[in-house]
Amino acid sequence: MANTETLERFFSYVDQNQEHYVTRLREAVAIPSVSSDADHREDVYRMGDWLIGLFKQLNISYEAAEPGTHVLDGKTLKLPPILLGTYGNDPNKKTILVYGHYDVQPALIEDGWRSDPWKLTEDSTGRLVGRGSSDDKGPIIGWLNAIEAHQKAGIEFPVNLKICFEGMEENESEGLDDLILREANRYFKGVDAVCISDNYWLGVTKPCLTYGLRGISYFKVTVSGPGRDLHSGVFGGTVYEPMTDLIILFSKLVTSDGKILIPGINDDVAELTDEEKETYKAIEFKIQDLQSAIESQTNLFDNETQTLQARWRYPSLSIHGIEGAFSAPGVKTVLPCKVSGKFSIRSVPNMDPDKVTACVEKYLKEEFAKLGSKNKLNIESLHGAKAWVSSPNHWNFVAAAKAVEKVFKCKPDLTREGGSIPVTLTFQDALNKNVLLLPMGRGDDGAHSTNEKLDRSNYIQGIKLLGTYLHEVAAVKST
């Protein structure tokens, strides 16, 4: 059990330094570290440097691993560094590895942001709005704030910490798996358990511990034909149109109510056991939580359990966008010569990314052949990652549950998550250690969406939670 007086001192220091932490988050949000856009690559490096500056301030020793290069938008680019920090090296303490990412999703004001996405803005209810506030800059800075609070309040740090922060999570985590496998017996040696703060509570009031994630298979489907874009008045009705072919193909992927139409995709989905059915009964979740997060009543199901199962334990297919299509306002009468549609399938336990890709390719080729079009079809699998489910009975989860009780005065829900953090499974398998997801933000934070936010109270209580978790880890029996 962590010492109450010590924790009170830690909490009080964190409370008194709220503005400093918000300022720190504001600085980080101001760096548009979008990993999927070649034009922002310098910003991703800048964000890495900003973190290195903080590591130096906090006496965290570090290595900045250079994972090499990759090609993005036709340009060969240096991958952002993977930061490997080490804080403490006491053989009498447990060693915890924390992972997070310093890259973010793209954000454009014209997407519907009410304020500049790169300027952290606080509204009257304490919402800190800005891209990356919740996913994942708030949480990664949270770990560093917890270290600083211990230093400044003169509290002994309870564990040795290994810190792995990457800058490519939102773009396939390129280079990270190789690094983990390579470093398993060096940098990662001695790690007792892993903690990742990169997901969200289920609702808006109750913290959770997360023991499962869906996987992802991401596809780009290109249909091309004419040698250049054409005038639809002059050529419409005389040529096979790529956009028409693509829309027909995409209409065959999924029904409006979410049923995936690709044969074979649902074949390997793990059976729903009686034991798993029981787990949904204990979870505090209301359809209204979903409706407030999606800011509408466009939910597919009115039933809570069905909704959670659809999010956590069944696959889904989402269509994301079309490159090359006319998308500006106005009435341009163009006939695009080449269009690339993007969609992804969120996969679940027992599904294999290679099999998903094979099913997708076979089906799209067959459906395209049925069109009898003279256009060309090209299918690319951009990335694939498996789903992950772990044991929430491990001491790592026991410690986290105690920390939640200390900070939030309630027991956490045990949840799975519909999103994907591919490295989770790699850590579990390569290090053979338990991995826990300990989220900071709420279910309505709008990660990947417009007006992403992190509530001030989640940020501040989150710093306390991460620090308290480390104290509870130090105190919990690990056998």
Phi, psi of 324 (to 5 degrees): 90, -5
| Active-site residue, 169 included | yes
| Strands 388-389 vs 208-213: parallel, antiparallel or unpaired | antiparallel
Place of tokens 């090499």: 68
198 labelled as ligand-binding? yes
125 annotated among ligand-binding-site residues? no
3-class secondary structure, 11: helix
Closest contact distance (angstroms) between CB of 199 and Zn ion is 7
216 binds, options ligand L7UNP4BN, Zn ion, none, Cβ within 5 to 8 A by partner type: ligand L7UNP4BN
Q: Quick one: 136 or 177, whose CB is closer to ligand L7UNP4BN?
A: 136
- 118, 440 Cβ separation under 8 angstroms: no
| Sign of the Cα pseudo-torsion (347, 351, 354, 355, in order) | negative
Is 275 annotated among the ligand-binding residues? no
Structure tokens at 4: 């109450």
19 is in an annotated binding site: no
The verdict on 135 binding Zn ion (CB under 5 A) reads yes
> 148 or 198, CB closer to ligand L7UNP4BN?
198
Dig out the tokens for 382 from the structure.
């951009």
Q: How many residues bind Zn ion (CB under 5 A)?
A: 3
Cross-strand partners of 455: 127
Spatial contact of 178 and 33, defined as CB atoms under 8 Å apart: no
Is 271 part of the annotated catalytic residue set? Answer: no
Asked if 289 interacts with ligand L7UNP4BN (CB under 6 A), we say no
Strand ordering across the sheet containing 127-129: 121-122, 127-129, 453-455
- Degrees to nearest 5, angle at CA 251 with 248 and 252: 95
43 in a labelled binding site: no
The residue among 21 and 219 lying less far from ligand L7UNP4BN, judged by its C-beta, is 219
* Positions in 402-431 near ligand L7UNP4BN (CB under 6 A): 419-421
Q: Is 70 annotated as a binding residue?
A: no
Quote the least distance from Cβ 308 to ligand L7UNP4BN, whole Å.
16
Grouping H, G, I as helix, E, B as strand and the rest as coil, residue 129 is strand
Determine, following the binding rule CB under 5 A, whether residue 103 of this chain makes contact with Zn ion.
no
Q: Is 346 annotated as a binding residue?
A: yes
- The residues pairing with 259 across neighbouring beta strands, listed in sequence order, are none
Beta bridge partners of 77: 70
Q: Shortest gap between Cβ of 125 and ligand L7UNP4BN (angstroms)?
A: 23
Which of these is catalytic: 43, 166, 169, 455?
169
> 3-state DSSP call for residue 324?
coil
Interface of this chain with Zn ion, residues 169 to 198, rule: CB under 5 A = 198
> How many angstroms separate the CA atoms of 313 and 212, rounded?
9
Burial of 371 (0-12, 13-18, 19+ CB in 10 A): middle
- With DSSP H G I counted as helix, E B as strand and the rest as coil, what are the percentages for the chain, rounded to 5? 40, 25, 40
Nearer to Zn ion, 262 or 440 (CB): 440
β-bridge mates for residue 196, sequence order: 99, 437
Find where tokens 């040795």 sit. 160
Say what the alpha-carbon torsion angle 304, 305, 306, 310 is, to the nearest 10 degrees: 100
Question: Is 295 annotated to bind ligand?
Answer: no
Among positions 135-164, residues that touch ligand L7UNP4BN (CB under 6 A) are 135-136
Enumerate residues 192-251 that contact ligand L7UNP4BN by CB under 6 A: 198-199, 216
Any known ligand binding at 135?
yes
Least Å from the CB of residue 243 to ligand L7UNP4BN: 25
Tell me which stretch binds Zn ion (CB under 5 A): 128-136, 203-211, 363-371, 373-381: 128-136
Taking the least distance from each CB to Zn ion, the nearer of 169 and 245 is: 169
**Separation of alpha carbons 462 and 74, rounded Å:** 40
Of residues 159 and 421, the one with the C-beta less far from ligand L7UNP4BN:
421
Point out which residues bind ligand L7UNP4BN (CB under 6 A): 135-136, 170, 198-199, 216, 419-421, 447
Binding residues for Mn(2+), as ranges, are 101, 135, 170, 198, 448
Q: Name the residues that contact Zn ion, by CB under 5 A.
A: 135-136, 198
Residues acting as catalytic residues: 103, 169
| Binding region | 101, 135, 170, 198, 231, 333, 346, 420, 448
